[in-house]
A and B are shown apart, each in its own frame.
Chain A
Amino acid sequence: MKIIVKRSGGFAGPLLNKTLEIRSGMLSPDDEKALHALLSAVPFAALHDQRFHARGGADIMKYEVTIDAPQGVAAFFFDESAVPEEFKPVWQFISRHFQV
């Protein structure tokens, strides 16, 4: 399993661009099991290649996510305040365990 999160945007612009890579083995066995369970509910085909933009706003962080997991493969993009509903549980898990 590999999840890559590329962050851009924000008040400081490109100063805070960041890439986070989550690989198998980085989490405890229990947490990894929990993440896999959450990934099982993600509709990969529906998310792939999609862009989710917030209405209006400025200085909002933006995220480009690439997931390569046994459950599926997808790459998609969203603004901080437009996290796709189907991905929210995984996003909340990632936000809890990593600084994104």
Chain B
Amino acid sequence: MPHDPSRRLSRHFFIPPYILDALTRAADEAIRWAAIESVIASAAMRARRATLATLPIMAAIPSVDRPKERRIYDMKNGTVPLPGKLVAGEGVKKPLQPGAVREAFENLGLTYDFYKTVFGRNSLDDEGQTLIASVHYGKSYNNAFWNGEQMVFGDGDGEIFTRFTRSLDVVGHELSHGVVSQTCNLEYFGQPGALNEHLADVFGVLTEQWSIGQAAAEASWLVGAEIIGPKTKIKAIRTFKGEKAFENDPLFGTDPQPKRMKDFYNGADDDGGVHINSGIPNHAFFRAAVALGGKAWETVGPVWYEALAALDRKSDFKDAARTTGEIAGRLYGPKSREAAAVKAGWKGVGL
């Protein structure tokens, strides 16, 4: 596999304390004072960590060496204040009954394991950030979201949608928004927003495929199939394939996602089509993955993972196509079948 997990994508960095200590005695006054200021800042950060460690609500406290750390909270059908009551986590000793708490705990764990095993990434920030999720949010709440600090999952209304925690690709999607926010941090509007949604979908479905050892050719490439309730006949919310996830449904109508640039949505709804136009890069990824065969997290997955660090807040579809093409060329060789498949995938959607 071409990806080197030792290459971190995180923007965070640390100067080891022993070097800082030596720099506080440097002859150069500017270096000495900079080091002293860093030591003071580090002490303040340690004090903050010590204080936060005593609180029931764990903020995201980075630590390079920290192992997997999950915290699942119960909102008991309320919406404020987040995160709710702590009900599960590493070190919380109680058996988990079947249901949202256990699903969130297990699916967060699988998503963490996917990033760690496949890409060597230690949590959202690559520094062991605690994964926080609140379940049973609201009454019959038909949504799951990432609020910039944690994941939130509704139970669904039991008719259109069931519990959002049931689906590994949905949990992987929300957690991947956290990874995106720690890397390229694509703004949530227009093409950058659609790329944000695309990357969350990509790593969501890859998490699911990895968890069951499923090859690209065997995968469903559906998003949210497990959360569809009994009152609708749609098979999923989105599909990476070149078809509609649903058509002429009495409740939902027809899947609005385009698969090619010629059908690009230019309206203002949905933050400029973030969940609509993500269908275009999703389909490009699918085309590349299926053309290459094998397991997508081993072929195109590393290319898209490296793109997380190479893209920026304003990147658009053309940037993503160019960047993934360049990364595939660097990882596998400019004339490799992988580089050709990535370029052909984008070309197939009109980019």
Residue numbers of A with Cβ under 8 A of B are 8-17, 54-62, 80-81, 95, 99
Contacts and interface: CB of A to CB of B under 8 A. Distances in A.
Interface of B: 79, 82, 138-140, 142-149, 157, 161, 164, 170, 173-174, 177, 180-181, 188, 196-197, 200, 224, 237, 252, 256, 269-271, 274-276
B148 A54 contact: yes
19 contacts: A9-B271, A10-B145, A11-B173, A11-B174, A12-B161, A12-B237, A13-B237, A13-B256, A14-B269, A15-B252, A56-B148, A57-B145, A57-B146, A57-B177, A58-B177, A59-B146, A60-B145, A61-B145, A99-B139
B224 A11 contact: yes
Nearest to B267: A14
Given A57-B145, A59-B144, A11 B164 contact: yes
Contacts of B157: 99
A61 B143 contact: yes
Nearest 3 pairs between A and B by C-beta?
Answer: A13-B275, A56-B148, A59-B145
Nearest to B246: A15
Given A8-B270, A55-B148, A81-B147, 8 more contacts: A11-B143, A11-B145, A11-B164, A17-B269, A57-B146, A57-B188, A59-B146, A61-B145
A43 to B, nearest CB: 21
Contact of A14 (B142, B143, B173, B275): B275
Of the listed residues A13, A58, A81, A95, the one surrounded by the most CB atoms of chain B closer than 10 A to its CB is: A58
B196 A58 contact: yes
A58 B142 contact: no
Nearest to A14: B270
Nearest to A99: B140
Contacts of A58: 145-146, 174, 177, 180-181, 188, 196-197, 200
A17 B146 CA distance: 19
Nearest to B176: A58
Nearest to A55: B148
Contacts of A13: 237, 256, 270, 274-276
Nearest to A62: B271
A28 to B, nearest CB: 19
Nearest to B149: A56
Contact of B142 (A8, A12, A95): A12
A16 B139 CA distance: 16
A10 to B, nearest CB: 4
B170 A11 contact: yes
B188 A16 contact: no
Contacts of B188: 57-58
B79 A95 contact: yes
Contacts of B142: 10, 12, 16
A91 B173 CA distance: 29
Contacts of B252: 15
A60 B197 CA distance: 12
